[in-house]
Amino acid sequence: MIKVESLTKQYAGFTAVDDVTFTARPGRVTGFLGPNGAGKSTTMRIMVGLTPASSGYAEVSGRRFADLPNPGLEVGVLLDASAQHAGRTGREILTIAQRTMGLPAGRVGEMLDRVSLTDDEADRRVRNYSLGMRQRLGIATALLGDPDVLILDEPANGLDPAGIRWMRDLLRGYADRGGTVLLSSHLLHEIEVIADDLVVIGQGRIVAQGTKAELLATAGTLVRTPDVHQLAQALTSAGVSFTPSAATGSQDALRVDADPGVVGRVALDAGVHLVELRAADGAGLEEMFLELTADTQRETLTEGAAA
């Protein structure tokens, strides 16, 4: 289990992480989401002892990372797949980690097979690896000690569709066997497919957290119509609240705080032609993410400054 309590990190007056509290539980995949610069990576670096907290704390399996006697046997970490010794081979990097952890030599070959790196690839120098191969090597290193906890920052970055599917199945199986997975990614669809719980951060603060089902259940209904102004007037007259739909990026869609049946009846009574009507959780994580983090999106801020 991972426990983060009142975690704060300040840099010369700038607060990168602001009173962050959440728990990632065993047997579940926790998706850690937020725009660039929201504080995800800083939080994860504090968890594994690379960055000191200004206040608060983070624990892995009931202890600070620095207090774990042999960390690799309890928590697997992948924060930056490119931060590997470019002059060593993949096999050498795994062998050094294997010896550091005191594991049998055969464990290296097992991990290479598990992440589908061939003998030829394992014996190449890392400088000649693609980003996807570096990700596989990083995941192999994280899994080497058979830890109970995985902390992964953008592990799908650089993987092709088959590689993303492989990673998804690997992490799902890991959690199903009782492991704790904390996964940060900008690939919202992949998070939506694999995550059990979600933690959303914006400008260093938690803006939402809960199970995926709980958070997506609040999404309401997505409706599209060429007569959006007429529908808006009808919804207002019916006392039904709505907002422009952030995920579609178009001017003809609304997210309505009511179920599709209610929206459909309002539209029918008002004679409004609809081209799409569905539960907004079908719009997925992107809709919820954009709405929760609207004030922290770079594009939104730029547009606001230009207006």
pLDDT tens-place string over residues 216-243: 766 678 889 999 999 999 999 999 888 8
Domain ranges of the chain: 2-209, 220-283
Whole-angstrom Cα distance, residue 114 to residue 110? 6
Q: In this predicted structure, what is the pLDDT of residue 295?
A: 66
User: Is the CB of residue 279 less than 8 Å from the CB of residue 260?
Assistant: yes
User: Is the CB of residue 278 less than 8 Å from the CB of residue 260?
Assistant: yes
Kindly write down the DSSP assignment for every residue of 183-230, as one continuous string: EE-S-HHHHHHH-SEEEEEETTEEEEEEEHHHHHHTT-EEEE-TTHHH
Q: In this predicted structure, what is the pLDDT of residue 257?
A: 82
- Quick one: fold of 2-209? Rossmann fold (3.40.50)
Q: In this predicted structure, what is the pLDDT of residue 187?
A: 73
Q: In this predicted structure, what is the pLDDT of residue 302?
A: 42
Whole-angstrom Cα distance, residue 245 to residue 223? 9
pLDDT tens-place string over residues 59-114: 998 999 999 999 999 999 999 888 889 999 999 999 999 999 999 999 999 999 99
The CATH architecture of the domain made up of 220-283 is 2-Layer Sandwich (3.30)
Q: In this predicted structure, what is the pLDDT of residue 289?
A: 75
Residues of the chain with pLDDT under 70: 217-219, 246-250, 280-285, 287, 294-307
Whole-angstrom Cα distance, residue 281 to residue 58? 32
User: Is the CB of residue 222 less than 8 Å from the CB of residue 275?
Assistant: no
Q: In this predicted structure, what is the pLDDT of residue 35?
A: 85
